Structure 1
Amino acid sequence: MKIKALVVEQKDGPFVLQEIDLAPPGRGEALVRITACGVCHTDAITRAGDMPMPFPAVLGHEGAGVVEQIGPGVTEVAVGDKVIIGWPSCGTCRNCLDGEPRYCLRTGEALVSGRRFKGDQAGTTAYTRDGKPINGHFFGQSSFATHSVVTADALVKVPDEVPIDLLGPLACGLGTGAGAVLNEARPRLGDSVLIAGVGAVGLAAIMAARNSGVTRIIAADIHDNRLEMARDFGATHVINSGRQDLVAEVRAITGSTVDYAFDCTGVIKVIEQLAETIGMLGHLVLIGGAPANARFSLDHLSTLWGKRVIGVLGGGGRSGQLIPALVDLFGQGRFPFDRLVKFYDMDQIEQALEDSRSGAVIKPILRMPA
Structure 2
Amino acid sequence: MLSANYIEPGRIEARDDATRPAPGAGEVLVAVEACGICGSDLHMYRNDSYRESLVRSTPEGYDVPGHEFSGRIAELGEGVEGWDVGEAVVGVTGYGGGMAEFVTVPVNPFQLVRIPEGVSFAEAATTEPMADGLQMVRKAAVAPGENVMVIGVGIIGLGVIQALRTKVPDIGKIIAVDIHDRRLDMAKTVGATDGINPKKHDIFEEAARLCGRENDYRGESANIAVVFDCAGYIKHIPGPPPLEIALHCLANRGGRIICFGGYEDRMSIDFGYVIKKEPVIMGSNGYAAEELAESLELMRSGTVDRNILISHHFPLGEVSDAFEAQGTPEAVKVMIDIEQAAA
Structure 2-normalised TM-score? Answer: 0.84
User: Residues of 2 paired with 1:358 and 1:207: CA distance?
Assistant: 23
**Deviation at 1:298?**
4.1
Alignment match, 1:248: 205
Matches within 5 A, 1:32-47: 32-47=30-45
| 2:240 is aligned with 1:234 | no
Matches within 5 A, 1:102-117: 111=94
Alignment match, 1:313: 285
Matches within 5 A, 1:216-235: 216-235=173-192
- CA gap of 1:23–1:358, structure 2 versus 1, over 3 A, is closer
Alignment match, 1:299: 271
| 2:321 is aligned with 1:328 | no
SS of the residue 2:16 aligns to: strand
**Deviation at 1:261?**
0.6
Contact (CA 8 Å) 2:21, 2:102: kept in 1 or not?
no
**Deviation at 1:10?**
4.5
Alignment match, 1:210: 165
SS of the residue 1:195 aligns to: strand
Matches within 5 A, 1:1-370: 3-10=1-8, 12-47=10-45, 48-53=47-52, 56-87=62-93, 111=94, 138-139=95-96, 142-153=97-108, 154-171=111-128, 173-181=129-137, 183-213=138-168, 214-256=171-213, 257-267=223-233, 269-279=241-251, 280-291=253-264, 293-300=265-272, 302-303=274-275, 305-314=277-286, 316-318=287-289, 321-341=290-310, 342-370=312-340
User: Residues of 2 paired with 1:198 and 1:67: CA distance?
Assistant: 32
Task: Report how many aligned residue pairs link the two structures.
Answer: 311
**Deviation at 1:361?**
2.2
- CA gap of 1:43–1:76, structure 2 versus 1, over 3 A, is farther
Choose 353-362 or 262-271, whichever is displaced more: 262-271
- CA gap of 1:307–1:5, structure 2 versus 1, over 3 A, is same
Letter in 2 for 1:353: F
SS of the residue 2:158 aligns to: helix
User: Residues of 1 paired with 2:328 and 2:307: CA distance?
Assistant: 20
Letter in 2 for 1:345: P
Q: Deviations over 1:199-246 (max 9, x none)?
A: 211111111111132221111122333222222211112222222121
- CA gap of 1:270–1:49, structure 2 versus 1, over 3 A, is same
- CA gap of 1:269–1:368, structure 2 versus 1, over 3 A, is same
Letter in 2 for 1:263: D
Contact (CA 8 Å) 1:282, 1:307: kept in 2 or not?
yes
- CA gap of 1:175–1:351, structure 2 versus 1, over 3 A, is farther
Contact (CA 8 Å) 1:82, 1:160: kept in 2 or not?
no
User: Percent of aligned positions with the same letter in both sequences?
Assistant: 24
Contact (CA 8 Å) 1:7, 1:18: kept in 2 or not?
no
Alignment match, 1:97: none
Letter in 2 for 1:355: A
User: Residues of 1 paired with 2:247 and 2:230: CA distance?
Assistant: 14
Q: CA RMSD in A?
A: 2.1
User: Residues of 1 paired with 2:91 and 2:274: CA distance?
Assistant: 42
**Deviation at 1:296?**
4.3
**Deviation at 1:282?**
0.5
- CA gap of 1:175–1:300, structure 2 versus 1, over 3 A, is same
- CA gap of 1:34–1:261, structure 2 versus 1, over 3 A, is same
Choose 200-209 or 17-26, whichever is displaced more: 17-26
Letter in 1 for 2:256: H
**Deviation at 1:75?**
2.3
User: Residues of 1 paired with 2:82 and 2:326: CA distance?
Assistant: 34
Runs of at least 5 residues in structure 1 that lack an aligned partner in the other structure: 88-110, 112-137
Contact (CA 8 Å) 2:71, 2:90: kept in 1 or not?
yes
User: Residues of 2 paired with 1:159 and 1:52: CA distance?
Assistant: 32
Runs of at least 5 residues in structure 2 that lack an aligned partner in the other structure: 56-60, 214-222, 234-239
Contact (CA 8 Å) 1:247, 1:277: kept in 2 or not?
yes
User: Residues of 2 paired with 1:29 and 1:302: CA distance?
Assistant: 45
Q: Deviations over 1:321-357 (max 9, x none)?
A: 1122122222333211101113211112122222221
Letter in 2 for 1:282: G
User: Residues of 2 paired with 1:155 and 1:203: CA distance?
Assistant: 23
**Deviation at 1:177?**
3.1
Structure 1-normalised TM-score? Answer: 0.78
Letter in 2 for 1:261: V
